[in-house]
Chain A
Amino acid sequence: MPGTAEAVRGALGLIGAGDPVLAGIVALSLAVSLSAVALAALIGLPLGAAIAVGRFPGRRALIVLLNALMGLPPVVVGLLIYLLLSRAGPLGEMGLLFTPSAMVIAQTVLVLPIIAALCRQAVEDAWVEYEEQLRSLGAEGLRAALTLVWDIRFSLVTAVLAGLGRALAEVGAVMIVGGNIDGVTRVMTTTIALETSKGDLPLALSLGFILIALVVLLNAAAHLIKEAAQRRYG
């Protein structure tokens, strides 16, 4: 087992040199997670807003379900998408298993409940504050929902960034549906898992540093955006 100091030095060396393998892995990670979050936001934001302002049977149950799905274990999502995409599965003919597309699908499913649930909560809180005023002005239904969503847009950015953090950090789902194939479906988290077990600590550690930096950056961005918006718009 190589020394920790040596591993850290190796890791920093890889980052400093802009190692192409390292760069490729980081790029794929970002491409997969950003695509997944974009898709999840496209579906999750309207869905969350609709649940927040809509009144329909089963609404309460849906909210409970959505909140529960926020804690969905990534390996279970991976397993479900694997079953869907595997050769014998209902979508097997598309041949997506072990491709980045499969990883995007799995992470979309993982992140969608998070974005939808956070959006639902934020819109509902705003609705409590705005409802009477908007109804007095004659805004109801879809019109009112759109006004609310636009008005709390900065809170929604936070919800989306929370989803991105979750997508970048998960291992289980991408591992199962991507297969962790060298140069094809290897992302930061799956590479860390594999290289650590193989004993290549410098590569694992360099990815760990980058991952931590990204997560810290995302949280800082979320915080700053919210603060700036608060100062600017109240």
Chain B
Amino acid sequence: MAGFASILPLCLRELTFAAGGRAIIRGVSARFDAGPATIILGANGAGKSVLMRLMHGLLAPSSGEVSWNGQGPARARRGQAMVFQRPVMLRRSALANVLYALELAGIHAPQRERQAMDALEEVGLAAVAQRPARVLSGGEQQRLALARAWALHPEVLFLDEPTANLDPGATREIEAVIRAFDASGTKIIMSTHNLGQARRLGDEVLCIHQGRLVERAPVEAFFAKPASAEAAAFIKGESPWA
């Protein structure tokens, strides 16, 4: 990312997405700048995944627009990476999966190996670099997905409920890697429906309810005193002690 013009800020203007005759994202406008780790919070089916796909350019909006530092989405491709809820690995070694991403990103061959091994090291997978990626455990595969993203040195990293399918131990490891990503200056935009995770990793929260952005606030303020009725109801419903 160094040396190039930033792709941030990311701006959403009246973003709408409809499918099957139903509005899934309804008029979301927001601006994301470098710095704070952003949590997209919302119940299952609220539209978090669709919103992240719209931002990352995997879905085209029905109306409204996504712009990156004033430019269209095409110019910002290289500066972003995304980690999905379920990691998709190719039938090759863990290392080869990272190398593949680097090759697509146009990194020169002599540099790839070093960059890939550094990334595997970063997520604690250097020891299994030569193992076939798909026989790794769920948690390891998700860390590999993070290494694959890390190796690309993205300016913005999207994470769509990256720990939703993992046990607590694997979740802790993933969260540690995300924190390191954040500390290295990468802009984190992560969705979750887990309040604890939002508190642990987030600086600010965007609360999505039925496809609408109902509240945006710094994380402490959001949990201390949510401003919207929807956010308050969601926090209440998700809290085990409520």
B-contacting residues of A (Cβ < 8 Å)? 129-130, 132-133, 135-139, 143, 147, 151-152, 229, 232-234
A151 proximity list for chain B (CB < 8 A): 90-92
* Chain B minimum-CB-distance residue to A144: B104
Shortest Cβ gap from B142 to chain A (Å): 13
B52-97 contacts to A, CB under 8 A, are 53, 56, 58, 77-78, 81-82, 84, 88-92
Q: Of the candidates B91, B92, B101, which one forms a contact with A137 in the assembled complex, judged by CB atoms under 8 Å apart?
A: B101
A147 proximity list for chain B (CB < 8 A): 90, 100
Q: Of the candidates B53, B89, B105, B133, which one forms a contact with A138 in the assembled complex, judged by CB atoms under 8 Å apart?
A: B105
* 9 A–B pairs (Cβ distance < 8 Å), ordered by A: A129-B88, A132-B53, A132-B58, A133-B88, A137-B101, A138-B78, A147-B100, A232-B135, A234-B91
Shortest Cβ gap from B30 to chain A (Å): 21
* Chain B minimum-CB-distance residue to A229: B91
A-contacting residues of B (Cβ < 8 Å)? 53, 56, 58, 77-78, 81-82, 84, 88-92, 100-101, 104-105, 132-135, 148
Q: Of the candidates B58, B78, B135, B148, which one forms a contact with A135 in the assembled complex, judged by CB atoms under 8 Å apart?
A: B58
* Chain B minimum-CB-distance residue to A136: B82
Q: With A and B bound together, what is the CA distance between A130 and B135 in angstroms?
A: 17
Q: A133-B88, A151-B90 are in contact. Are A233 and B104 (CB under 8 A)?
A: no
Interface pair A234/B132, CB less than 8 Å apart: yes
Shortest Cβ gap from B100 to chain A (Å): 7
Interface pair A137/B132, CB less than 8 Å apart: no
A139 proximity list for chain B (CB < 8 A): 104
* Chain B minimum-CB-distance residue to A153: B91
Interface pair B90/A136, CB less than 8 Å apart: no
Q: With A and B bound together, what is the CA distance between A143 and B100 in angstroms?
A: 11
Shortest Cβ gap from B93 to chain A (Å): 9
Shortest Cβ gap from B154 to chain A (Å): 11
Interface pair B77/A138, CB less than 8 Å apart: yes
Q: A133-B88, A137-B101, A138-B104 are in contact. Are A233 and B134 (CB under 8 A)?
A: yes
Q: With A and B bound together, what is the CA distance between A133 and B89 in angstroms?
A: 9
A130 proximity list for chain B (CB < 8 A): 88, 90
List the 4 closest A-B pairs by CB distance, nearest first: A234-B134, A133-B88, A233-B91, A234-B135
B78 proximity list for chain A (CB < 8 A): 138
* Chain A minimum-CB-distance residue to B80: A136
Shortest Cβ gap from B44 to chain A (Å): 19
Shortest Cβ gap from A107 to chain B (Å): 31
Q: With A and B bound together, what is the CA distance between A152 and B91 in angstroms?
A: 8
Q: A138-B105, A139-B104, A234-B134 are in contact. Are A133 and B84 (CB under 8 A)?
A: yes
Interface pair B100/A137, CB less than 8 Å apart: yes
Shortest Cβ gap from B79 to chain A (Å): 12
Q: A129-B88, A234-B91 are in contact. Are A136 and B132 (CB under 8 A)?
A: no
Q: With A and B bound together, what is the CA distance between A138 and B78 in angstroms?
A: 8
Interface pair A233/B88, CB less than 8 Å apart: no
Q: With A and B bound together, what is the CA distance between A18 and B89 in angstroms?
A: 50
A137 proximity list for chain B (CB < 8 A): 100-101, 104-105, 148
Q: With A and B bound together, what is the CA distance between A234 and B133 in angstroms?
A: 8
Q: A137-B101, A138-B105 are in contact. Are A233 and B58 (CB under 8 A)?
A: no
* Chain B minimum-CB-distance residue to A231: B135
A138 proximity list for chain B (CB < 8 A): 77-78, 104-105
A133 proximity list for chain B (CB < 8 A): 84, 88
* Chain B minimum-CB-distance residue to A140: B104
Shortest Cβ gap from B194 to chain A (Å): 22
A232 proximity list for chain B (CB < 8 A): 132, 135
Shortest Cβ gap from A226 to chain B (Å): 12
B133 proximity list for chain A (CB < 8 A): 234
Interface pair B91/A136, CB less than 8 Å apart: no
Q: A129-B88, A130-B88 are in contact. Are A136 and B81 (CB under 8 A)?
A: yes
Shortest Cβ gap from B217 to chain A (Å): 29
* Chain A minimum-CB-distance residue to B133: A234
B58 proximity list for chain A (CB < 8 A): 132, 135-136
B88 proximity list for chain A (CB < 8 A): 129-130, 132-133
